[in-house]
Copies of this chain bind each other. A is one copy, B any other.
Amino acid sequence: MIVWALLTSVGINLGLCLLFFTLYSVLRKQPSNLDVYAPRLVAAKKESEQRNGFNFERLLPTAGWVKRAWQPSEDELLLVTSLDAVVFMRIFIFSLRVFGFAGIVGVLILLPINYLGSQLDVDFDFSDLPNKSLDSFSISNVSDGSKWLWVHFCAVYIFSGVVCYLLHYEYSYISSKRYAHYYSSKPQPHQFTILVRGIPVSSGSSCSETVERFFTEYYPSTYLSHAVVRRTNKLQRLTSDAEKLYRRLVHLKSETKPQQRSRRDGFCGLFGRKVDVLNQYGKKLENLEDNVRMEQLSVAGKEVPAAFVSFKSRLGAAIALQIQQGTNPTEWVTERAPEPQDVHWPFFSSSFIKRWISKLVVVVACAALTILFLIPVVIVQGLTHLEQLETWFPFLKSILNLTVVSEVITGYLPSLILQLFLSFVPPIMIMLSSMEGCISFSQIEKSACTKMLWFTIWNIFLANTLSGSVLYRFNIFLLSPKRFQESLLMLFLHRHHSSLHSVVTSGWTSLLSSELFRLHPLICSIIKRPFSGKDDDELEVPSIPYHSDIPKVLFFGLLGITYFFLAPLILPFLVVYCCLGYIIYRNQLLNVYAPKYETGGRFWPTVHNSTIFSLVLMHIIAIGIFGLKNLSLAASLIVPLPILTLLFNEYCRKRFLPIFEDYPVECLIKKDREDQNDPTIAVFYNKLSTAYEDPALMPIRHPRSTDDHNSPLLQAGV
């Protein structure tokens, strides 16, 4: 790829970004789009009053939202959103710092050295710049065995040191935030509750009795209450049906005039005798609700040997959580309870062996998916090898010879097709994680996040970079492993073009189009709008999909770190990406996403591990590259670096990781003592004992927005 092609690509993407930016600025102000661009504020009824006013300013693209997104301090952000959101923003700040430093070193020091190298036999003619290959900006342009390579060597050492320092700083900063957040939190049910699984129910007594007996026996002073989990899959279906029917009834009642309420009961409402729709729906709802009540009664017997056990103090819950309960370690297995709204009720397989097997199956399935995904990747990569394509399909020759077509095919198509394929992966990973036996959405997302990360690294970075041509060169491996390794490294080096591309296309443009502009929800909303009326009740505030967004950002981090000394040209683009991401996600967190749960920043260790992995990968590549460049002394002097990095990681695991798992006695007791002086604690205890009831088992309660005599059921004559 030549400089000109890069500039074109950057130009196109900048244009697209500007377009999306302008469109967003305008559309954001249209009241009809508020559900798309500020559902969070709508739900909080903050912006609804704006809906009716109209002024000319609404049609002007302005950048006021950037300022509004920039302004709140981190503490204000924490107040409005969650600690997880703040930690998510810290990823951008951390990346900005890393790539800011790397960019300065890379562009000011490494880039000139690379460019002035003579390995690729180019002259120092600046007038021909646009037609130069991008390779002349990479380390491949430095002559083999050149003394200048020691600058790269030093850069690798210094950069690793700086990244480790920043990692340590962030870990300790986020740890302190986590503690501060805990200290400032009000008593919350999940702090006082644990989940107990594998309850050994003896015949002749119910699960509930067994739990009651065990905990009153061993925790007489702190045990408060418990809620046994029940198998409610069927009940959940019924209640959600009833809920839907109720909504439709309310909608019908408020929208249609009495004379429109009747329709024929035959095929598609066209034939048969006329019936009052309201009446009909009312009856249906009544039937459903009867069913629900009956099912609720029958479900009481379907106990799963698992229960949420609540304690009077945080320390009590921590003791029961962290010390083995029964003599058999596979019974009375305790687990941290998630927040009540975070519990994932449907998958509650409880037996120890079952969960273990399902975990194994999921691991195998996930590995299979990750590896089988190579097939589309390899096919897509075939597109970048037009010569290959031409030999396979000769009739395409005339079309492929057009510059535009070949540019589009080699530049855009592969990444677009990949993006399409990739968009299916996060839901699959979520599904796999939920089958693993996770009991909360947060656990599922965290587990899916790790899975996505490995998937991304394996498929996009390693496989995408290497597979395209490795398959054609695999016969080299059989002849000589050493030459194979060399050609692998050279390939990797030469593929930084496509990485640049992916930063610009899937980084910049996707970020603006899908994240800021919310293309998909916008289209959905536009399509739905004529068919449905204004129904606030149905507005669901989305939550930020950490499991797909964090791996994306971390992947760019990986690109930046590994290419830092190889092809520093990528760094400025990454800095721009981080800046864009910082502003856009802040805006979205303030306006669009509502936190669905609060893990207290438990996503950070994933970020840390991924960065360490990137560093070690960079070191391994550095060893290979210095070896290739006939500087074996430098190659062997790099060897201690990955070892030191891994030791640093081990230190961090000991120093910080426990903080992200459980709170120490010191915190727990301080908070417990605060509660003792709190007059509202009795009320809280009352709430606590019912907090973990399965929502499907609650008595049917429809939101009565109007007075009782106005209730749709009454009005429908039921």
What is A's interface to B at a CB cutoff of 8 Å?
Answer: 179, 217-218, 318-320, 322-330, 352-353, 356, 360, 647, 651, 654-659, 662-667, 669
Contacts of A658 in B (CB 8 A): 324, 329
Closest 10 CB pairs of A and B: A329-B658, A324-B664, A322-B322, A325-B665, A322-B323, A323-B665, A218-B669, A330-B655, A319-B319, A326-B666
Which chain B residue has the least Cβ–Cβ distance from A329? Answer: B658
A319, A662, A667 — most chain B CB neighbours (10 Å): A319
Determine if B326 and A664 form an interchain contact, defined as CB atoms under 8 angstroms apart: yes
Contacts of A664 in B (CB 8 A): 323-327, 329
Compute how far the CA of A360 lies from the CA of B217 in the bound complex, rounded to whole angstroms: 45
Q: A315 to chain B: closest CB distance in Å?
A: 8
18 CB < 8 A contacts A-B: A217-B669, A218-B665, A218-B666, A318-B323, A320-B665, A322-B322, A323-B664, A324-B664, A324-B665, A327-B666, A327-B667, A329-B654, A329-B656, A329-B657, A330-B655, A352-B654, A353-B651, A356-B651
Determine if B666 and A330 form an interchain contact, defined as CB atoms under 8 angstroms apart: no
Given A319-B319, A322-B322, A322-B323, verify A329-B667 contact (CB < 8 Å).
Answer: no
Assuming A327-B666, A327-B667, A329-B654, what are 11 further A-B pairs, CB within 8 angstroms? A179-B327, A217-B669, A319-B319, A323-B665, A325-B664, A327-B659, A328-B655, A329-B655, A329-B657, A353-B651, A360-B647
Contacts of A647 in B (CB 8 A): 360
Determine if A662 and B319 form an interchain contact, defined as CB atoms under 8 angstroms apart: no
A352, A647, A654 — most chain B CB neighbours (10 Å): A654
Which chain B residue has the least Cβ–Cβ distance from A658? Answer: B329
Which chain B residue has the least Cβ–Cβ distance from A324? Answer: B664
Q: A337 to chain B: closest CB distance in Å?
A: 17
Copies in the complex: 2
Contacts of A318 in B (CB 8 A): 323
Determine if B218 and A329 form an interchain contact, defined as CB atoms under 8 angstroms apart: no
Compute how far the CA of A217 lies from the CA of B673 in the bound complex, rounded to whole angstroms: 11
Q: A130 to chain B: closest CB distance in Å?
A: 50
Determine if A662 and B327 form an interchain contact, defined as CB atoms under 8 angstroms apart: no
Q: A354 to chain B: closest CB distance in Å?
A: 13
Contacts of A663 in B (CB 8 A): 324
Compute how far the CA of A654 lies from the CA of B327 in the bound complex, rounded to whole angstroms: 13
Determine if B323 and A319 form an interchain contact, defined as CB atoms under 8 angstroms apart: yes
Determine if B662 and A323 form an interchain contact, defined as CB atoms under 8 angstroms apart: yes
Q: A517 to chain B: closest CB distance in Å?
A: 43
Contacts of A667 in B (CB 8 A): 327
Which chain B residue has the least Cβ–Cβ distance from A352? Answer: B654
Q: A42 to chain B: closest CB distance in Å?
A: 40
Contacts of A352 in B (CB 8 A): 654
Contacts of A669 in B (CB 8 A): 217-218
Contacts of A323 in B (CB 8 A): 318-319, 322, 662, 664-665
Which chain B residue has the least Cβ–Cβ distance from A655? Answer: B330
Given A662-B324, A665-B323, verify A654-B330 contact (CB < 8 Å).
Answer: yes
A319, A327, A328 — most chain B CB neighbours (10 Å): A327
Q: A657 to chain B: closest CB distance in Å?
A: 8
Determine if B325 and A654 form an interchain contact, defined as CB atoms under 8 angstroms apart: no
Compute how far the CA of A324 lies from the CA of B659 in the bound complex, rounded to whole angstroms: 9
Which chain B residue has the least Cβ–Cβ distance from A667? Answer: B327
Contacts of A217 in B (CB 8 A): 669
Determine if B322 and A666 form an interchain contact, defined as CB atoms under 8 angstroms apart: no
Which chain B residue has the least Cβ–Cβ distance from A669? Answer: B218
Compute how far the CA of A356 lies from the CA of B652 in the bound complex, rounded to whole angstroms: 12
Determine if A666 and B325 form an interchain contact, defined as CB atoms under 8 angstroms apart: yes
Contacts of A654 in B (CB 8 A): 329-330, 352, 356
